[in-house]
A and B are shown apart, each in its own frame.
Chain A
Amino acid sequence: MNEMSNKWIGKNTIRPDGAEKVTGRAEYAADTTMPGMVWGKVLRSPYPHAKIKSINVEKAQSLKGVYSIATSKDCVDFPIDSPVILGIQDMRWMSRNVLAKEKVLFHGHPVAAVAAKTEEIAQKACELIEVDYEVLPWAIEIDDAIKGDAPILHDFIKHNNKSSNIAGTLEHSKGNIEKGFKEADVIIEKNFETAAVHQGYLETHACLVSVAPDDKMVIWSSSQGQFMVRAMTSYITGVPQSNIRAIPAEIGGGFGGKTIVYLEPVAAILSKKSGRPVKMVMTREEVMRASGPTSASKSTVKIGVKNDGKITAAKGIFYLQAGAFPGSPIRGAAGCCLAPYEVPNAHTIGFDVVSNRSKVAAYRAPGAPIGAYAVECVLDELAEAIKMCPLEFRLKNAAKEGTQAVHGPKYPKMGYLETVQAALVHPHYKLPLQKFQGRGVASGFWFNAGGESCAQVNITEDGNVVVTTGHPDIGGSRASIANITAELLGIDVGRVSVLIGDTATIGYSNLTGGSRVLFASAMVVTESTNEVINILKERAAQIWDIDKDAIDWENGEARPAGANAGKFKPLSLAEIADKATPTGGPIGAGHQVNTVGAEGGFATHICDVEVDVELGIARVIRYTAVQDVGKAIHPAYVEGQLQGGVAQGIGWALNEEYIYDNKGHLDNPGFLDYRIPVCSDLPMIDTVLVEVPNPKHPQGVRGVGEVPIVPPLAAIANAIYNALGKRFYSLPMSPPKVLERLEEN
């Protein structure tokens, strides 16, 4: 496709969900109701760690207005010591996270649930459930969980042949690090810590589930994957997938946090037992206490360089909290941290640590910001030690096409180098700074993903287009798919409607995660649209009674070509659609593919901060995010993704943290004391979209949604150092911490 001739690809077309959202018409999960519906509420553990000896629901059951009660006894019984893998999740953990079985493993862990006429009655009934607990010692922080006499969460999990809270490790090696460090002129090794942070989506988890007497189930819920909801609910309840129809609602933010289920299987059990549709809506406090934040971490990074700036060796050790069940994103930390660089000798290792906190869930480039934070801060120190500009230093070590990455692959064409070059020449990088202001830079990488996607492209009887895909639109996929379809068909984008199908109306599509959606769905939509174009040409050939190959599709119409050129008046899409029935029936095509070739994304950020040195408040005053976005199909949405990632990174770096009290309870389960940034905390976040098209994609698309949260933690830490001459090795860099540091010496 010729770049210059693009009419819709690369244009900021009007977002298809805009009018519905701003006029309050868009339906979110909590907006759904059904006749006869009742309300579900969850009883949660008052302890961070305890054995469940018995649960007595008699009193609750006999409360007037109570319809049904669910406990783990109603779930499929997965033995705790054998894996039940579904994608990157394990259903034996998922079922125990949804309803605790042998033990409660964190404060807020669901123990039972009640469906009742009103939320108040359900709540009251929860209070009447008698649970006999044997309270156990608990561990919240990583150090407490990995020390010798730590209380063990899962006895059968072994590390070095001993029961342990270290549930797994992941390693990457390249070359010989001993040799590499020997070659280095300067070596810097530092320890870092980050706090657990929540995705902070505005819409809390919600669902409505209706199980009919014939066991057919309909689920309306807010998630990042209706097929994920169907599969997990099927596993946990034992109802076959063919009996479950999962309908995706509009979603009020997910950022990875809605890639697993919390409520749907519980509501399904309550509905099945009561014969009533059951609605459940979490409060913000429940979201904070019991849905996944991402891991807190502890890491050690050591990097050696030659005086000329060449990296000779790098080593990274990352401990990540998983919460109550194994599965922290150690792959993101150990795998992404060195990805932007050509490192001849490297070893990275991640440790998956369980402790008595809520199970972590994916959060935008899971694990990658943690790894990049440590590596990019050490690189900043090295650049300073060898007196090199930190961007020049990165340029010198930049990975390029052909580089063997530490995490495995040999890179195809990719644009890391271009992001550093663009940052170097950006006016921001040269702006003068005032007193107590500082500038920092950092880079970052995210794998991106492909995977299963389906699409159906149908031509309506009046000659317009309806495209159905199978993943919830969180970042602009509908607008981008409309752009691509309109471009391929040569018609006005306003004639294309893009819908998200439910599990009964479109084939299996993997969830919205890993920055995969536009990459994957553009592939299947392109194939489907090209097939539709072929059909349209065939129909025109029939109408004109000439050979199909003698027809071109151009500008939304079939034109006779070659020897027939000019012989017939071109047939528009509408004219062909009008004759669809006599020429062979409805026109449409669908494709279902396991997409491959999702290449990684790279970014380099420049950040300026200003510190109020009397109060310890650091504020970001200027920010530029440069990213290789492959091809920006809808630039405004791409820019929005970059800005959103940076905004969340700023919160992570400066203020957000899970704070626990001495009883093992989360002490700040709400937006008052869990401080995500508000608008006035942020500067205008400038973006530079570098476009190095992904050679393995028809439109050159790379995932763009996750990379932008990777560099900010280090960019901000480096900027604060530049402003104050003091380095911070632990996040968040909140005012009391900054002031304390400033008062030292």
Chain B
Amino acid sequence: MIQGTFLTPNTIDEAVKFFSSSEGSVKLLAGGTDLLVQIRNGFTKPDKIIDIKNIRELQEIIDNGNGSFTVGAAVSGASLAEHNKFGKNWPGVLEALRLIGSEQIQGRASLGGNLCNASPAGDSVPALIASGALAKVHGPNGIRSIPVEKINLGPGKTNLQKGEIVTQFDFPDREPSSSDSYLRMIPRTEMDIAVVGCAVNISMDGDKCIDARIALGAVAPTALLVDQAAKIIIGSKLEDDVLNEAAKACQNACKPIDDKRGTITYRKKVSGVLFKRAIQIAKERALKV
């Protein structure tokens, strides 16, 4: 149980003011699906909770045209899935967010929470990174825009400064024939935590890959953008040997640990497998757009 203050600001300014001026342990709450579990387990005991899900900007989904979207950091998986265009443009991001938890969790779980919780295994994070989205951050010193892959520093650690809140994600324009995908390995079929996650975002010109971003989750202290793998496939026709080489680059980028969820060898091996499967899906999707 928690004893303390629960604040429900309606504007970003108010939230930033509360957040930056608070003494002691203060936590932002979006969906709460990580935070409440952590409080119950005794991992964190905030004196103050700032509920940010009532702020308009954090709940908005804006279609900027050309496949570009601005999505509020507290938009739930269920709400994003109901949007009639977002999922067509960013199916990989949506499917990653939708993998989180169950129907009940989907009513609350957000992209902002998944990212800022800073678990190496957060499912939507590799997809956000692969998409090239920028996180808009409001703080006491103003607004900054940061590539998603720069937000997390390690398990439970972000580079957000005191008083800073991720308010929105800006997804770039979509090139023609481009799409994304996300796959994760879990021992169960759902309600599990990723042992490895892999997101691929590619643009095609005919059968040639002209751009790509590849990201891996759960194989290092933070989700990784694997430039080496992208470099190998850009310009290729995604032939088997190219993909094998890129899969190896994925494996080499992994810095996993041995733990109860999987061994180093297993995680490395699986990252290559998921990469090859994810890129097939992304390619098929891209060629259909």
Q: Which of A13-21, A337-345, A386-394, A675-683 contacts B (4 or more CB under 8 A)?
A: A675-683
Task: For B187, give its contact among A680, A735, A740, A743 (CB under 8 Å).
Answer: A735
Per-residue contact bits, chain A 659-678, to B (CB 8 Å; 1 contact, 0 not): 10000000110001101011
Given contacts A120-B1, A659-B260, A668-B260, contact A675 B266 (CB under 8 A): no
Interface residues as binary, A379-397 with B (CB distance below 8 Å gives 1, 0 otherwise): 0000000000000000000
Stretch of A189-197, A252-260, A498-506, A610-618 lying at the B interface? A610-618
Q: Are B189 and A680 in contact (CB under 8 A)?
A: yes
| Chain B nearest CB, measured from A719 CB (Å) | 18
Question: Is the CB of B11 closer than 8 A to any CB of chain A?
Answer: no
A734–B262 Cα distance when bound, in Å, is 10
Would you call A614 and B273 a contact (CB within 8 A)?
A: yes
* B191 / chain A contacts, CB cutoff of 8 Å: 678
Taking a contact as CB atoms under 8 Å apart, the answer to whether B266 and A735 are in contact is yes
Contact check, B260 vs A667: say whether CB atoms are below 8 A apart. yes
Chain B positions 112-165 with a Cβ under 8 Å from a chain A Cβ: none
CA of A673 to CA of B194 in the docked complex: distance in angstroms? 11
Residue A698 CB within 8 A of the other chain:
no
In the complex, the answer to whether B266 meets A740 with C-beta atoms within 8 Å is yes
B288 within 8 A of A: no
B190 neighbours in A (Cβ, 8 Å): 678, 680
CB-CB under 8 A for A673 and B260, given A681-B188, A734-B187, A735-B187: yes
Contact (Cβ within 8 A) A672 B260? no
Which A residues, 705 to 745, have Cβ-Cβ distances below 8 Å to chain B? 734-736, 739-740, 743
**Chain A residues with CB under 8 A of B263:** 736, 740
B192: chain A residues at CB < 8 Å are 672, 675
A485 within 8 A of B: no
Residues of B within 8 A of A675 (CB): 187-188, 192
B185 interface residue per 8 A CB criterion:
yes
Cβ of A515 within 8 Å of any chain B Cβ, yes or no, is no
> CB-CB < 8 A to A743: which residues of B?
269
Knowing A677-B188, A735-B185, the reply to whether A740 touches B261 (Cβ < 8 A) is: no
Instruction: Verify if A655 is at the interface (C-beta below 8 Å from B).
Output: yes
8 Å CB contact of B270 from A615, A654, A740: A615
Complex Cα spacing A654 to B187, Å = 9
CB contacts (< 8 Å) of B266 on chain A: these are 616, 735-736, 739-740
For residue B96, give the distance in angstroms from its CB to the closest CB of chain A. Answer: 18
Q: Which DSSP category, helix, strand, loop or mixed, fits chain B's interface?
A: loop
- The docked-state distance in angstroms from the alpha carbon of A497 to that of B170 is 63
B179-219 contacts to A (CB < 8 Å): 185, 187-193, 195
- Most-contacted residue by chain A among B1, B189, B193 (CB, 10 A): B189
The proximity string for B residues 14-34 relative to A, scoring 1 for CB distances below 8 Å and 0 otherwise, is 000000000000000000000
State the Cβ distance, A392 to closest chain B Cβ, in Å: 35
**Which residues of B260-281 are within 8 A (CB) of A?**
260-263, 265-266, 269-270, 273
B188 near A655 with CB under 8 A, answer yes
Q: Which of A617, A675, A736 has the most CB of B within 10 A?
A: A736
B261 touches A673 (CB 8 A): yes
Bound Cα distance A659, B266 (Å) = 17
The 0/1 profile, CB within 8 Å of B marked 1, for residues 40-62 of chain A is 00000000000000000000000
Knowing A667-B260, A668-B260, A736-B262 touch, does A681 contact B270 (C-beta < 8 A)?
A: no
How far is B67's CA from A508's CA once the two chains are assembled, in angstroms? 72
Give the residues in chain B near A667, CB-CB below 8 Å. Answer: 260
Nearest Cβ on chain A to B82's Cβ, whole angstroms: 23
Interface size class of chain A, counting residues whose CB lies under 8 Å from the partner chain: 20 to 34
- Residues of chain B within 8 A of A617, CB atoms compared: 185, 187
Chain A residues whose CB sits within 8 angstroms of the CB of B273 once the complex forms = 614-615
B1 to chain A: which residues have CB within 8 Å?
A: 119-120
Contacts of B188 in A (CB 8 A): 655, 675, 677-678, 680-681
Please tell me if the beta carbons of A681 and B189 are within 8 angstroms of each other in the complex.
Answer: yes
Nearest chain A CB to B19 CB, angstrom units? 27
| Smallest beta-carbon distance B187→chain A, Å | 5
CB distance from B119 to the nearest CB of A (A): 12
Q: Which residues of A contact B262 (CB under 8 A)?
A: 735-736
What are the residues of chain A within 8 A of B187 when measuring CB–CB?
617, 654-655, 675, 734-735
Q: Which residues of the other chain, B, contact A739 by a CB distance below 8 angstroms?
A: 266, 269-270
- Nearest to A671 among chain B residues (CB) is B191
| B265: nearest chain-A partner, CB-CB | A740
Q: Give A608-644 as 1s and 0s: 1 = Cβ < 8 Å from B's Cβ atoms.
A: 0000001111010000000000000000000000000
Residues of chain B within 8 A (CB-CB) of A616 are 266
Contact among A119, A615, A654, A680 with B185 in the assembled complex (CB-CB below 8 Å): A615
Q: B140 CB to closest chain A CB, in angstroms?
A: 34
Q: Across the two chains, which residue of chain A brings its CB closest to B40?
A: A283
Q: Which residues in B have their C-beta under 8 angstroms from that of A735?
A: 185, 187, 195, 262, 266
Convert B228-263 into 0s and 1s, putting 1 for each residue whose CB lies closer than 8 angstroms to a CB of A: 000000000000000000000000000000001111
**How long is the Cα–Cα vector from A655 to B260 in the complex, in angstroms?**
12
Q: Are A678 and B260 in contact (CB under 8 A)?
A: no
Q: Which of A74-128 contact B (CB under 8 A)?
A: 119-120
Minimum distance in angstroms from B218 CB to a CB of chain A:
13
State A680–B188 Cα separation when bound (angstroms).
8
- Nearest Cβ in chain A — how far from B272, in angstroms? 9
| Shortest distance between the CB of A656 and any CB in chain B (Å) | 10
Given A655-B188, A677-B188, are A672 and B265 also a contact pair (CB < 8 Å)? no
When distances are taken between beta carbons in the complex, the residues of chain A under 8 Å from B185 are 615, 617, 735
The interface residues of chain A lying within 8 Å CB-to-CB of B270 are 614-615, 739
CB-nearest residue of chain A relative to B102? A678
Complex Cα spacing A680 to B191, Å: 10
- List chain A residues, Cβ under 8 A from B195: 735
In the complex, chain B residues whose CB is within 8 Å of the CB of A673: 193, 260-261
Which residue of chain A has the shortest Cβ distance to B41 in the bound complex?
Answer: A285
Measured between beta carbons, the chain B residues less than 8 angstroms from A734 are: 187
A705–B10 Cα distance when bound, in Å, is 55
Distance, CA A331 to CA B1, complexed state (A): 45
Question: Whole-angstrom distance from the CB of B117 to the nearest CB of chain A?
Answer: 14
The docked-state distance in angstroms from the alpha carbon of A142 to that of B242 is 48
Chain B residues with Cβ under 8 A from A678's Cβ? 188-191
Residues of chain A in range 578-616 having any CB-CB distance to chain B below 8 Å: 614-616
Instruction: Closest A residue to B276 by CB, please name it.
Output: A614
A672–B193 touching, CB < 8 Å:
yes
A673–B192 Cα gap in the complex (Å)? 8
Tell me the bound Cα distance from A616 to B195 in angstroms.
Answer: 13
Interface string of B58-95 (1 = CB under 8 A from A): 00000000000000000000000000000000000000
Residues of B within 8 A of A614 (CB): 270, 273
Which residues on A sit within 8 Å (CB–CB) of B189? 619, 678, 680-681
A677: chain B residues within 8 A (beta carbon): 188
The distance from the CB of A664 to the nearest CB of chain B, in whole angstroms, is 15
A654 and B192 alpha carbons, distance in the complex (Å):
15
Nearest residue, chain A, Cβ from B195: A735
A617 to B273 alpha-carbon distance, docked (Å): 13
- Considering the chains assembled together, what is the distance between the CA atoms of A119 and B265 in angstroms? 44
CB distance from B189 to the nearest CB of A (A): 4
Give Cα A673 to B121, complex, Å: 13
Q: List 21 A-B contacts (CB under 8 A).
A: A614-B270, A614-B273, A659-B260, A673-B193, A673-B261, A675-B187, A675-B188, A675-B192, A677-B188, A678-B188, A678-B190, A680-B188, A680-B189, A681-B189, A735-B187, A735-B266, A736-B265, A736-B266, A739-B266, A739-B269, A740-B266
Given A675-B192, A740-B263, output 17 extra A-B contacts at Cβ < 8 Å.
A617-B185, A617-B187, A655-B188, A672-B193, A673-B261, A675-B187, A678-B190, A680-B188, A680-B190, A734-B187, A735-B187, A735-B195, A735-B262, A739-B266, A739-B270, A740-B265, A740-B266
Closest 6 CB pairs between A and B?
Answer: A736-B266, A680-B189, A614-B273, A659-B260, A681-B189, A678-B191
Chain A interface residues (CB < 8 Å from chain B): 119-120, 614-617, 619, 654-655, 659, 667-668, 672-673, 675, 677-678, 680-681, 734-736, 739-740, 743
| Partner-A contacts on B (CB < 8 A) | 1, 185, 187-193, 195, 260-263, 265-266, 269-270, 273
